[in-house]
Structure 1
Amino acid sequence: MKKIYVLRGVPGCGKSTFIRHHHLEPYTISTDNLRLLYGNLKYIYDEKQGKTRQVIPQEYNEQTFNLLYSLIDNKMQRGETIFVDATHLYPNAFEAYREYVEKYHYEMICIDFTKEINLNELLKRNLTRVDFRWVDPEVIKKIYKFAKSHPRLPRWVHQVTPNQFANTLYIGETDLSTYRSIAIIGEEANFKGTLKPHEFYISYNHDFARKHHHSKDVIFINRDLSTCRDHNAYTVFPFIFKGKHYLATSRTLRDEFIGYIKNIHGRNFYNFGLANLTDFMQEFPVNASRVKQISLNNFKQSSINRLA
């Protein structure tokens, strides 16, 4: 659920066009736009073309990236999906993100444009770009060379092509069919005894989940943002049990919120789009759902229910 997407590619490769095509502007932080918050476009003289050009100022890089990381930290506190539009083609480009990814338990996905277009086409496109998007051709050559010599990313970064982006929006079910039963622990339930072998636990009781946080058989369903950083916490947990499909959430989701469901070899994949974590926690009037839902709305919170 918690994802940060970073676009990687040489200027002119189509990163910003990709953002517009997929209507991702409301979710995107562009380093060029941040630079323009610190200083207006400025004129330079292009000796090769014998003309003046307006360009984005580059002397505010330190302030730009400090602001970028501050915005990322702020958004991650709320579990929001983030896109970062920048080249990410310089040494240790991803290292500064690692602190935030680990702190807030995010998945980092790099949409990599470096194999989409060759150098000659990049230089050709650069000549026809809007003036302030123009980049010195020598800079493009330098960045392109770096991209070709550094194709591998850190192991903790999930690398995809632009054409693979749509697949990253889907959340697949966890198959719990190997368990004999599933216990649903209410928010106010009093669980006594020890965990049973071959039983899986979906808990709305934070004390229970925290007590058993080392167990792979226990998860917690968030009801607000205060627990989102717990490693065994989920905001929505799709699962299949004995051939039936379920969604465990804090609040019952309206059917249109669930969106498109694709089934591959009997397993459901859900596309919730770019919804915020808090969107899943809001209470809306309930309508008919295609999927059986388990939520705070639909069972007594002092009880322990079981699927068997």
Structure 2
Amino acid sequence: MNQSSLQVPAFSLILLIGVSGAGKSTFARRHFLPTEVISSDHCRALITDNENDQSATGDAFELLHWLAAKRLQRRRLTVIDATNVQADARQSLIDLGQQFNCPLVAIVLDMPEQVLNDRRKTRTDRSFADPVLHRQRRDLWLWTRYLEYEGFSTVYRLKSADEVDQIQVVRQS
């Protein structure tokens, strides 16, 4: 991809998609207002005071969906920061976007394995075992090839850290 900007509708539901350590949260902080981003990790923290507490995942996603629905009901740009690598995980969010008749945008951060490994070594907030990352990478490869057919109006796939660093998000009226 040789573009320097991602065009997103001012009212849309944006799903950030990528394995753990791909840079989704950093991308979200760089390009969107904190109030526009709903993070599954933050929802876990709101429930248990620990964003890494996987036992709260069900409750966290219930909260994430509720918050997203409230924002979309008010026609606010909404960004979902979660791995979203499996089609099943995306479907309820796609349904939600369609319920509110808003454009669906997928931004896939498909980083090379070496980038992911380097980032994993420097993360102090959590650690992921090799099997978890391999499963997420496999799911990313398997389940994001046909995003256009899932209902996304626009799909962007960023394949390197340099590409991510050079991108600007431009909101369309």
TM bin (shorter chain): 0.7 to 0.9
The 1:79/1:23 distance shift into structure 2, 3 A limit, reads closer
CA shift for structure 1 position 154: 4.5
Q: Are positions 1:71 and 2:71 aligned together?
A: no
| Structure (1 or 2) with the greater helix fraction | 2
What is the correspondence of 1:156-305 to structure 2 with a 5 Å cutoff?
A: 156-157=151-152, 158-161=154-157, 166-167=169-170, 169-171=171-173
SS of the residue 1:122 aligns to: helix
Q: Are positions 1:124 and 2:123 aligned together?
A: no
Q: Are positions 1:112 and 2:108 aligned together?
A: yes
Paired letter, 1:16: S
- The answer (yes or no) to whether the contact 2:148–2:155 under 8 Å persists in 1 is no
Q: Are positions 1:145 and 2:138 aligned together?
A: yes
| Structure (1 or 2) with the greater strand fraction | 1
- Structure 2 residue runs without a partner (length 5+): 1-9, 159-163
Larger relative contact order (CA 8 Å, sep ≥ 6)? 2
SS of the residue 1:135 aligns to: coil
Give the Cα separation in 2 of the matches to 1:160 and 1:73: 23
CA shift for structure 1 position 165: 5.9
Alignment partner, residue 36 of structure 2: 27
2:48 to 35, 39, 42: 39
* Pairs aligned (count): 154
Paired letter, 1:58: Q
Alignment partner, residue 10 of structure 1: 19
Give the Cα separation in 2 of the matches to 1:27 and 1:34: 14
In percent, how many aligned pairs have the same letter?
A: 23
CA shift for structure 1 position 23: 4.6
- The answer (yes or no) to whether the contact 2:106–2:156 under 8 Å persists in 1 is yes
- Structure 1 residue runs without a partner (length 5+): 42-54, 172-308
SS of the residue 2:49 aligns to: coil
- The answer (yes or no) to whether the contact 1:119–1:141 under 8 Å persists in 2 is no
Give the Cα separation in 2 of the matches to 1:73 and 1:20: 21
Paired letter, 2:20: P
RMSD: 2.0
Dislocated runs of 4+, deviation >4 Å? 162-165
- The answer (yes or no) to whether the contact 1:113–1:161 under 8 Å persists in 2 is yes
TM-score, scaled relative to structure 2: 0.79
